[in-house]
């Protein structure tokens, strides 16, 4: 899944990424958030816990990371 496909699907489903604390394209230190950004030829998927600790979940190509992010997004709206 490309970033564009992900963003189109999210828009289609009417999901507010900001409300879910999901960030695309940059790092954040917002507690209990998830995001991804591109660096050195890889997409990096990360998590920030309640203590603002940054941890990398996965590194990979655009397709892999946005598939992961889509699953995470669907899990967050299912709660």
Q: What is the residue extent of each domain of the chain?
A: 3-77
Residue 79, pLDDT > 70, answer no
Compute the distance between CA of residue 12 and CA of residue 15 in angstroms, rounded to an integer.
8
Residue 50 backbone zone (phi > 0: left; psi -120 to 50: alpha; other: beta)? alpha
The whole-number average pLDDT for the span 35-64 is: 97
Q: Label the pairing between strands 22-24 and 33-39.
A: parallel
* 38-49 tens-digit pLDDT: 999 999 999 999
């Amino acid at each position: 899944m490309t970033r564009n496909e992900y963003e189109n699907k999210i828009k289609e489903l009417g999901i507010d990424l900001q409300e879910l604390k999901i960030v695309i394209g940059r790092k954040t230190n917002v507690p209990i958030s998830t995001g991804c950004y591109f660096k050195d030829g890889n997409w990096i998927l990360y998590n920030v816990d309640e203590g603002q600790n940054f941890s990398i979940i996965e590194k990979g190509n655009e397709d892999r990371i946005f598939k992961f992010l889509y699953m995470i997004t669907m899990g967050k709206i299912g709660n």
